[in-house]
Structure 1
Amino acid sequence: MSHKRIPKRKAAIAVGGVAALGAAALLLPNANASQDDKAADAAPRTLRANDASDLAAQVRGLLGDAFAGSYYDSGSRQLVVNVAGDDDATLRAQQAGAVVRRVDNSTAELESAARTLRTEATIPGTSWAVDPRTNRILVTADSTVTGARWDRLESTVQGLGSGMATIKKSAGTFKTFVSGGDAVFSQVQGGAVRCSLGFNVTASDGSPAFLTAGHCGVAAETWSDSETGQPIATVDQATFPGEGDFALVTYDDATTQAPSEVNVGGGQSVQIAQAAEATVGQAVLRMGSTTGLNDGTVTGLDATVNFQSETDPSGVDTVTGLIQTDVCAEPGDSGGPLFTQDGNALGLTSGGSGDCTSGGETFFQPVTTALQATGATLGAGDQNGGGDQNGGGDQAGGGDEAGGDGAGGDGAGGDGAGGAADPSASAEDPSGVGDPAGGDQAGAGDQSGAGDQTGTGDQTGTGDQTGIGDQSGTGAHAGASRSRTH
């Protein structure tokens, strides 16, 4: 499948900002105290997963070249920072509140190794991402990588040097999850395409729109809310393959109500308050049109995936900059949302291997990157200042997430209705999003109570979401982020 960009209706780009750390941030309280005394006084901070992402960005700015990755330890609720450098860097990370771990491989060395893999081992069915928990590059090969291809991959990894990378075999096959499910549909030559809606957004010209996977946007230009229905939305921009896998699709009716929420089954939905960066070790939820609600953990960032080209049997579609997870997914889940239980939008389902019976790896397009590239803002209206989507800001109902360990409970298989339980619960006790499951979502057609979300940002009656199953007319558009994301 070739790279395709559909021209934007407006050229404005909303650039999210991360506050720069001034030089004063490097000044320590007592200039005469010894480094040992200061290190002893520094205590690791207890953090929510979302706050850990902010601290990781801060520490990276403080350490510069000495920063070698970080991850969130959900057990201790602390950020662990890898430092490859001098004692001053260690002290700065400790003073910021992180747990410091000295490692051998610097970020520059790991990035150089990744470039070598890109040059010498861009083989369909392979992926690689830095695993900060091992301070190595984790290279994954699916079941199609055998014979000479396997030998080539193994030789390349060995050539990187001892302790730089490891290889993992996956039983499945890397693929984009384009077909299946009952989410958004498009009629194309040769049949129908089905994908999942990710997040409702507002386009740069103020029109209602949604984000989905780029390979869905490249495959078809117009989309419907039913398999045989008339188109209700048109692709505005699409990127795949290359530097991402995302598409902005605008609703044809400018009066469409597009609430910023994700349907999690059983007539329940989770309000999406803001976009955020993912953190390795973070607990996450994924919703998809085929498998419903499933949970897992972020295992890598800035991942490169080499999909077998769907248009060229001997070609490869390489996508960079993805989030790697151990969440399961299946065909039809493409474009579906990756989010946290307290309402942070993290990613859009791209592809992976395995299924929700045997498990596997799934990769996601970061939402923050997609928003910046398309100029869209999250939700129906101006959220978080209209474009500054990266902060840990004021989340309606976001409160204190216990441990930041947001998935909780049984993620695979089963009865997707039940548990997405009670979005009206406080963030300290987000009961229910902990019994996610996949298949049985019969109740999704009748979500008369989905709008009644008191407690999650005080959203009583968001759009009066009765009759999602009856998708005729403009009213069906209001439920797009609910019925199209399961």
Structure 2
Amino acid sequence: MRRTLRARICLPALLALTTVGLGSATAAADTAGAGGNPHPGITALPAQYSLHTALERDLGDRSAGSYLDAESGELVVTVTDAEAAEEVRATGARAELVERSMAQLRAAMDTLESRARITGTSWGIDPSANKVAVEADSTVSAASMAKLRSVAVPLGDAVSIKRVPGAFKKEVAGGDAIYGGGYRCSAAFNVSDGTARYLLTAGHCTNAASIWSATSGGPEIGTRTGTSFPTNDYGIVRYTDGSQPAGDVDLYNGSHQDITAAADAIVGQSIRKSGSTTGLTSGTVTAVDVTVNYGDGPVHDLVRTTACSAGGDSGGAHFAGSTALGIHSGSAGCTGSSGSALHQPVKEALAAYGVAVY
């Protein structure tokens, strides 16, 4: 990590929110926002975040999720009947009739959960394909792959399986960022409950220590007040050094992005990840409702993206413009400019701790 960032972290404005991905070869910082990925994704508009959330809530099982069309940028809402399609069109969004409902896709994931919980695998919903997208990393043996495929066969084309390089893992490492319990992580977003200020990071980081510093062996900057891992992957640290840190994210080019809102990511949208190892990288959201089977237990309801990350990026920020989206959890690494980074949706963590971005 850059010495300039270390100096900034030591200031009362602590981490202008460093964030990064996990477990991959170091990626070059990307300040252009496209990350070099073949499909850089679509910029999501504030109105699309709101509509996406409202329609999925109102339609319930009559929808199998939403995504952004890669060509037009339209919000596409999948539906299972004509009446639901009319409701979607009335809002100005595009309706797409699909074969499988959200309940059917989740039933397929339940089958995988009960019969194929294999370390090194992950699965989540890709609404653009109306399928459960399964990934198996390089540590999954031939015998385990055979078992995974045998479980998937009765599920038919509701499930797709692909191999990914690397190994799904949480990404903590030695170096610069936030330190606790002998580990290095990254901070995601500064938040407030109206009176006190906190930072959000990964739960597998806050599980490791209650006292956190901005430099290795440095003075305390904050104390853990909450942690959740596995099942979830978020934790919260209250500032105890009297600082009033800004609510922004480090772009690793001498500038920072102010964060003013939080939302749930939409498949097909572009995102950026900021972290203490790989700096700023970017990618596209490819799946939601993702379960990843780490060696020490599964984590559910994550978001999968193509952003690159590496060890030490755990807890970093996933965001789009001024909107906070997620807290970096882990990855199977990065091939070229395309990774498989996973983030914990930030809105769940905000609700759990009764805090807000500012």
Equivalent residues in 2 for 1:306-385, closer than 5 Å: 306-309=293-296, 317-341=297-321, 343-355=322-334, 357=336, 359-379=338-358
Secondary structure class of the residue paired with 2:111:
helix
CA contact (8 A) 1:323 1:364 kept: yes
1:357 Cα offset (Å):
4.2
1:181 Cα offset (Å):
4.1
Q: Does 1:214 align with 2:203?
A: yes
Secondary structure class of the residue paired with 2:348:
helix
| TM-score (norm: length of structure 1) | 0.63
The one-letter code of the counterpart of 1:179 is A
1:202 Cα offset (Å):
1.4
Structural RMSD (CA): 1.7
Q: State the alpha-carbon separation in 1 of the partners of residues 43 and 324 from structure 2.
A: 19
Equivalent residues in 2 for 1:75-224, closer than 5 Å: 75-85=71-81, 87-160=82-155, 162-186=156-180, 188=181, 192-203=182-193, 206-224=195-213
Q: State the alpha-carbon separation in 2 of the partners of residues 183 and 155 from structure 1.
A: 43
Secondary structure class of the residue paired with 1:163:
helix
Q: Does 1:55 align with 2:51?
A: yes
CA contact (8 A) 1:62 1:92 kept: no
The one-letter code of the counterpart of 1:115 is D
| Structure 1 gaps, min length 5 | 1-45, 310-316, 380-486
Which residue of structure 2 aligns with residue 240 of structure 1?
Answer: 229
Q: State the alpha-carbon separation in 2 of the partners of residues 356 and 269 from structure 1.
A: 27
Q: State the alpha-carbon separation in 1 of the partners of residues 163 and 335 from structure 2.
A: 18
The one-letter code of the counterpart of 1:334 is S
1:308 Cα offset (Å):
1.3
CA contact (8 A) 2:124 2:134 kept: yes
Which residue of structure 2 aligns with residue 262 of structure 1?
Answer: 249
CA contact (8 A) 2:65 2:77 kept: yes
Secondary structure class of the residue paired with 1:257:
coil
- Greater strand share, structure number: 2
CA contact (8 A) 1:199 1:211 kept: yes
Equivalent residues in 2 for 1:463-482, closer than 5 Å: none
Q: State the alpha-carbon separation in 2 of the partners of residues 58 and 376 from structure 1.
A: 22
Q: Does 1:252 align with 2:240?
A: yes
Which residue of structure 2 aligns with residue 229 of structure 1?
Answer: 218
Which residue of structure 2 aligns with residue 292 of structure 1?
Answer: 279
Q: How many residues align?
A: 317
Q: State the alpha-carbon separation in 2 of the partners of residues 220 and 61 from structure 1.
A: 37
The one-letter code of the counterpart of 1:350 is S
Q: State the alpha-carbon separation in 2 of the partners of residues 258 and 73 from structure 1.
A: 37
Which residue of structure 2 aligns with residue 302 of structure 1?
Answer: 289
Q: State the alpha-carbon separation in 1 of the partners of residues 128 and 122 from structure 2.
A: 18
The one-letter code of the counterpart of 1:198 is A
Q: State the alpha-carbon separation in 2 of the partners of residues 62 and 320 from structure 1.
A: 23
Question: Structure 1 residues 180 and 72 mapped into 2: Cα distance closer, same or farther (>3 Å)?
Answer: farther
Q: State the alpha-carbon separation in 1 of the partners of residues 338 and 205 from structure 2.
A: 23
Question: Structure 1 residues 179 and 58 mapped into 2: Cα distance closer, same or farther (>3 Å)?
Answer: same
| Structure 2 gaps, min length 5 | 1-41
Q: State the alpha-carbon separation in 2 of the partners of residues 371 and 195 from structure 1.
A: 19
CA contact (8 A) 1:126 1:305 kept: yes
1:47 Cα offset (Å):
9.0
| TM-score (norm: length of structure 2) | 0.85
1:61 Cα offset (Å):
3.9
Secondary structure class of the residue paired with 1:219:
coil
Q: State the alpha-carbon separation in 1 of the partners of residues 354 and 211 from structure 2.
A: 20
1:367 Cα offset (Å):
0.8
Secondary structure class of the residue paired with 1:92:
helix
* Structure 1 outlier segments of 4+, above 6 Å: none
1:360 Cα offset (Å):
2.3
Query: Which shows bigger deviation, 257-266 or 164-173?
Result: 257-266
The one-letter code of the counterpart of 1:371 is L
1:289 Cα offset (Å):
0.3
Secondary structure class of the residue paired with 2:206:
helix
CA contact (8 A) 2:44 2:270 kept: no
